[in-house]
Amino acid sequence: MKAIVTVIGKDKIGIISNISTILAKYGVNILDISQTILQGYFTMMMFVDLKNMDISFAKLKEELDLLGNKLEVSIIIQQEDVFKAMHRI
Amino acid sequence: MINSFEVLETVQMIERQKLDIRTITMGISLLDCCHSDIDIACGKIYDKITRYAENLVKVGEEISLEYGIPIINKRIAVTPISIIANSVDGTDYIKFAKTLDKAANTVGVNFIGGYSALVHKGYTTGDMNLIKSIPEALAITEKVCSSVNVATTKAGINMDAIRQMGKVIKETAQLTADRDGLGCAKLVIFANAPEDNPFMAGAYHGVGEPECAINVGISGPGTVKTALESVKGESFDVVSETIKKTAFKITRVGQLVATEAAGRLGVSFGIVDLSLAPTPDVGDSVARILEEIGIESCGAPGTTAALALLNDAVKKGGIMASSHVGGLSGAFIPVSEDEGMIEAVRNGSLNLQKLEAMTCVCSVGLDMIAIPGDTSAQTISAIVADEAAIGVVNNKTTAVRIIPAPGKKAGDTVEFGGLLGRAPIMEITKFSSNAFAERGGRIPAPVHSFKN
């Protein structure tokens, strides 16, 4: 199962490092990472593999939400299928 | 590989433009729950609903979490109760309403539809008893929704039923007078009612449906409006293409959620209802889409044409995105549930006559309209008859969900709260339709219904 982590907000030091730490802690592998400024927002997108994840999706989401609150950015994790459904025929 | 722009577009649709799945509705057949003893029948109904829908809310929440897409409502639709209740000795149908309410509370859904009767050609004994019990059923239960189909293109219009429904609506309003006639917000009078509609208050599980099916209703007026903001001043060709593309994307999410929910619950996937369903929140309004197309305030000339285009483009975009489309499918124009519509009624640009014209070109009818409490039952019947005629002649579904708010007059406001919103009381003509409503009988099916 693959998912996409999106971070939107103001740029600051340590966003990637903090998120990577959480992902590594629970066995989530980062497959691809890109960041850009889109429509005035710092946007980072991580493509991750949840195959060896050792906690539940809900728990991982909770941890990322907490981190997002701390860093004052929005961190969203969604299964890849929703993007494929919407953007690929 | 999905690119950053696509990811951001999806995320913004959900986070900012209020894209959501409006409802996952589980349709459950109760045809095997008939029994002459009402307590046994009710016991079977309760057991079956709570068995099939045990995990409905849980699965809905899981899918919502994993895909990051809000699923606002989880609901249940059942076989029209008048069919089940026909086998019962006695007429105390309120027990059925209480049973449905109890089952809905047990499984945690927010509405259960199907306290219904289909009388487009005539009444069975069960239909008669059920319709008589509707006012009390809606007053004493919280989650039960009721609908009555009074007309079809094939059968014509049952004017006896329409005459009775005018009275039933008035009585329902009286019995829930302490809540501004809230009972009427849970009662829909249909022409050409769809059997797989996932939306309340009109959802029921038709007799041609399988044992159990998942039907999904999508939403996303804010998404369409935002897309149109980027094509200001462009021709209608561009407007239509833009709506189609957006509707495609929204519907694909609906299809994904529907198949996923059906799979996890181990029941059949029924349909996706391609609807633009508004809420009272700012940024979630169908009226504001029409205004974005170029109308100063919803109801001004051009509104009907803009709505016709919107409705058509939503369907064209959505049809390819889903393997099975059904339900009501189209733009909804419920006054109390749409912030832009509420404002349009307040500022005088939208009236009942214009709304009636709009119902000719979109998927529903006069929906969530509050009218003065002293409106007569005959006038209400005549309003229902007009809507039924539009549906019957145009081969489409129409419905009336109208609330004669006790003690209120035109210009006042009623508050229902939550998704049902708040409604300004609309002006009703002072001219009488009494002799029309009292005639009874049946208006024959239109000539173009004879296609065989």
pLDDT digits (tens, 9 = 90+) for B137-168: 999 999 999 999 999 999 999 999 999 999 99
Q: What pLDDT, in 10s, does the model give residues B392-449?
A: 999 999 999 999 999 999 999 999 887 788 889 999 999 999 999 999 999 999 999 9
Q: What pLDDT, in 10s, does the model give residues B182-212?
A: 999 999 999 999 999 999 999 999 999 999 9
Query: Is the Cβ pair A85, B65 closer than 8 Å?
Result: no
The rounded mean pLDDT for chain B is 95
Percent of chain B with pLDDT over 90: 88
- Residues of chain B in contact with residue A88, where contact means CB-CB under 8 angstroms, are 2
Q: Which of B5, B6, B7 to mutate to test the interface with A (most CBs of A within 10 A)?
A: B7
Quick check: B8 contacting A, CB < 8 Å? yes
- B216-248+274-449 domain in CATH 3.20.70.20? yes
Token output for B304: 């009907």
Contacts of A66 (CB under 8 A, 6+ apart): none
pLDDT attached to residue B340: 95
Q: What average pLDDT does range B288-302 have in this prediction?
A: 97
B88/B129 Cα distance (integer angstroms) = 11
Amino acid at B378: Q
Q: Distances in Å between the alpha carbon of A84 and those of A88, B6, B7?
A: 5, 10, 10
B367 confidence band (pLDDT: 50, 70, 90) = very high
A86/B254 Cα distance (integer angstroms) = 10
Q: Given this chain, do its domains B16-191 and B216-248+274-449 carry the same CATH topology?
A: yes
CATH of domain A2-87: 3.30.70.260
Q: What pLDDT, in 10s, does the model give residues A32-81?
A: 999 887 777 788 999 999 999 999 999 999 999 999 999 999 999 999 99
Percent of chain B with pLDDT over 70: 100
- For chain A, give every domain's residue range: 2-87
Amino acid at B373: G
Query: Is the Cβ pair A82, B68 closer than 8 Å?
Result: yes
- For chain B, give every domain's residue range: 16-191, 216-248+274-449
* ipTM confidence: 0.91
- Residues of chain A in contact with residue B9, where contact means CB-CB under 8 angstroms, are 87
Residue A40 gets the label, from left (phi > 0), alpha (psi -120 to 50) or beta, of: left
Token output for B28: 């459950």
Quick check: B67 contacting A, CB < 8 Å? yes
- B16-191 domain in CATH 3.40.50.720? no
